[in-house]
Structure 1
Amino acid sequence: MASSIEQFRPQLLDAILPDDASFPINRTVQVQRLGLVDYVPTWQLQETLMDATLAIKVWNRQAETTGEAPQPTPNHLLLCEHPHTYTLGKSGKPEHLLLNEAALEAHEASFHRINRGGDITYHGPGQLVGYPILDLDNFRPDIHWYLRVLEEAVIRTLAGYGLNAGRIAGLTGVWLDWEEGAANPRKICALGVKCSRWVTLHGFALNVNPDLSYFGHIVPCGITDKAVTSLAQELGGATVVSVAEVQERLLPHLLELLGATPTANTTAA
């Protein structure tokens, strides 16, 4: 059963304003391992953290005119799993959800229209979901660079399991059999982000060992001619992996690619 996000909210909000405001560039990231949590409260938490960061950026612009020292903006990374959930991005098509309300209930799944880019995707148990709420002004204000960093962190993580993952031109995400002309390209990680004044929202969803049948109830990311896979399916049962294990393997890759370090109060659920 999903745990309540409220138990994590106070410690996250306490970290919004760092004690030392003398360095406007902040490349530390507070990592929160939330476990299995419901989708909507986690989305609301992302929005809360983003709004707090944007407020600091507004204050910093005002401080430039008053001669006050700017404050560093925080960076957060939420790592979690969700119960069965379908989300539709701003550019998505509702008809790409192939279940009606009764069928959603029968599959114990929820459906939400959200404010990221992209089409429809699935979240569920056995899938590692990462929500970086980063101020890219602390790193590199380039959304394309940021998307490639997320993809590369996943690619390097999968390489540690002996899988040759990569990118397909024009299709955001991480794929197996991605090379041009490959017979069976398969998506293993979806990406969908929002960025406001260089502060990011939403993120990536890496299939570790989810029930892949749930992808059969949507047109994943609006793509009709390519399959979806998972780490467990690709390893064929030879190696049993958990979301927690993959999470800890992916985290150092992501931090290294960002040029970031975790904060001292990084916590686990």
Structure 2
Amino acid sequence: MYHNKLSIEHWGRIDYQEAWDRQSVYQRKLVALKRTARAEGIVRNEGTHFLVLCEHHPVYTLGKSGKTAHLLVNEHFLKEHGITFYRINRGGDITYHGPGQLVAYPILDLEFFYTDIHRYVRTLEESVIRTLADYGVVGRRIEGFTGVWTGQKSARKICAIGIHMSRWVSMHGLAFNVNTDLTNFQYIVPCGIEAENMAVTSLAREVGHELDITEVTTRFTNHFTHLFNIDQCEERKTQKIHIPS
């Protein structure tokens, strides 16, 4: 039986590149711990993990399997509207991040939980589905698609998920539209999905008013730690990003 410790870090509203760089530092730290332990024949019974919670300035990100054509505007438009664009190493296609969106980056060594990427993604989805239920919103999965959706007759995507693994250590994660201004989704093909009966939504739109994103974040974190069965957590808020030694 493993004992897992989770450091929960609130990074506030942060530039995407900076958050990506810092995630990479954390991921490399956990991979290095594994390599050192194996080289020295050490059996590790305690896992160290991170959960980063933040918002981003307006940005489009394109995953490894995404198509550039799904960005429907040019560089001039992006500059004029203050939106950045990155090709990144997560799975999935193109999505938007911006203020009012809860972004969660779990950096977990899955060998302390289970080595099953499908199960990991379903657990991330379940964390959001349970958070939605707290606000009376029914979240669901759609076969063949990743993420969380609302609506029955028409599907409305409320959470996008894209991850990257290195030696079973995760990075990237999920983007949960809470109070997100959905306008900027009009300038992409969100997640590369072109079906007419599929759209993007936010929790604020579903309930009819804006929410306290701090409260939503707390509820999400509680569901996340419960589903991953982590009961030892250290939580801190920081604008200056801490780099583990």
TM-score normalised by length of structure 1: 0.85
Moved over 6 A (4+): none
Letter matched to residue 52 of structure 1? K
For residues 69 and 206 of structure 1, the distance between their equivalents in structure 2, rounded to whole angstroms, comes to 37
Other-structure match for 2:213 = 243
Other-structure match for 1:219 = 189
For residues 113 and 127 of structure 1, the distance between their equivalents in structure 2, rounded to whole angstroms, comes to 20
Letter matched to residue 254 of structure 1? F
The 3-state SS of whatever aligns with 2:120 is helix
Other-structure match for 2:117 = 143
Q: Which runs of 5+ in 1 are unaligned?
A: 1-23
Within-5 A mapping of 1:117-266 = 117-177=91-151, 182-225=152-195, 226-237=198-209, 240-263=210-233, 265-266=234-235
**Cα distance per residue 1:27-51 (max 9 Å; x no partner):** 1210001111111010001100100
For residues 138 and 69 of structure 1, the distance between their equivalents in structure 2, rounded to whole angstroms, comes to 12
Q: Does 1:60 align with 2:37?
A: yes
Superposition deviation, residue 141 in structure 1: 1.3
For residues 186 and 144 of structure 2, the distance between their equivalents in structure 1, rounded to whole angstroms, comes to 23
Superposition deviation, residue 70 in structure 1: 4.3
What is the identity percentage for the equivalent residue pairs of Structure 1 and Structure 2? 48
Q: Which runs of 5+ in 2 are unaligned?
A: 239-245
Letter matched to residue 213 of structure 2? V
For residues 132 and 48 of structure 2, the distance between their equivalents in structure 1, rounded to whole angstroms, comes to 29
How many residues align? The count is 236
Q: Does 1:31 align with 2:8?
A: yes
Q: Does 1:51 align with 2:28?
A: yes
Contact 1:157 1:246 in 2 (8 A): yes
RMSD (Å) for aligned C-alpha atoms: 1.4
For residues 137 and 103 of structure 2, the distance between their equivalents in structure 1, rounded to whole angstroms, comes to 20
Structure of larger gyration radius = 1
Superposition deviation, residue 113 in structure 1: 0.4
Contact 2:3 2:45 in 1 (8 A): no
For residues 258 and 171 of structure 1, the distance between their equivalents in structure 2, rounded to whole angstroms, comes to 22
Contact 1:86 1:121 in 2 (8 A): yes
Contact 2:5 2:47 in 1 (8 A): no
For residues 30 and 198 of structure 1, the distance between their equivalents in structure 2, rounded to whole angstroms, comes to 18
For residues 36 and 26 of structure 1, the distance between their equivalents in structure 2, rounded to whole angstroms, comes to 31
TM-score normalised by length of structure 2: 0.93
Superposition deviation, residue 118 in structure 1: 0.3
The 3-state SS of whatever aligns with 2:148 is strand
| More divergent stretch after superposition (69-78 vs 35-44) | 69-78
The 3-state SS of whatever aligns with 2:57 is coil
For residues 39 and 62 of structure 1, the distance between their equivalents in structure 2, rounded to whole angstroms, comes to 35
Q: Does 1:105 align with 2:75?
A: no
Superposition deviation, residue 261 in structure 1: 2.2
| More divergent stretch after superposition (25-34 vs 133-142) | 25-34
Letter matched to residue 13 of structure 2? L
For residues 68 and 134 of structure 2, the distance between their equivalents in structure 1, rounded to whole angstroms, comes to 37
Higher relative contact order (CA 8 A, sep 6+): 2
Letter matched to residue 220 of structure 2? L
Superposition deviation, residue 183 in structure 1: 2.3
